[in-house]
Copies of this chain bind each other. A is one copy, B any other.
Amino acid sequence: MSDRMTIRPANTKDHDAMWRIFQAVVATGTTYVFAPDTRREDGLAYFIGPGIASWVAEDEGRVVGMYKLLPNRRDLASHVANASFMVDPSHAGRGVGKALGLHCLREARRAGFLAMQFNFVVSTNTPAVTLWKKLGFQIVGTLPKAFRHSERGLVDVYVMYRFLDDIELET
């Protein structure tokens, strides 16, 4: 991540880059439920659509990560946000995920959500679990053997949760 990294709303010109990142992330079969042969329309529909706020991280003119923010459920549970993140594997370890996570928490707070829930954090995805703990999330549930990991077989999945009342809206 360079000083020139910015996080901005996604637009239609980003679709090719988003799809490239989506494919690279799901190719491993280790962190997301999507099969490696997921179709482009399904991948993009996961990140873009009505009621979904879609953001991308741009580093020196190149889209290197993205997130989506939406209500986890409708109506009587719509005060809890959900979000998903993907970072270009070739940009891993440079703080892109953390920057997106912090941005997302502020956007969620700004939008009036009271909490954020991650429904499906694969327990063996240590970078993700570590990052979300660092950003204040707690493991509130463990789904035994809920993910078919491409290398390890059936592994546990965490549900992670955090209230947003301590998130500051500095600009």
- Please give the residue numbers on chain A whose beta carbons come within 8 Å of chain B beta carbons, in ascending order: 29, 32-35, 38, 73-80, 114-115, 117, 119-120, 140-150, 154, 157, 159, 161, 163
Contacts and interface: CB of A to CB of B under 8 A. Distances in A.
Nearest to A161: B143
Q: How many copies does the complex hold?
A: 2
A50 to B, nearest CB: 14
Nearest to A34: B75
Nearest to A31: B76
A40 B95 CA distance: 46
Contacts of A159: 141, 143, 159
A33 to B, nearest CB: 4
Given A141-B142, A141-B159, A161-B143, A33 B77 contact: yes
Contact of A34 (B76, B145, B146): B76
A143 B117 contact: yes
Contact of A33 (B76, B142, B157): B76
A148 to B, nearest CB: 5
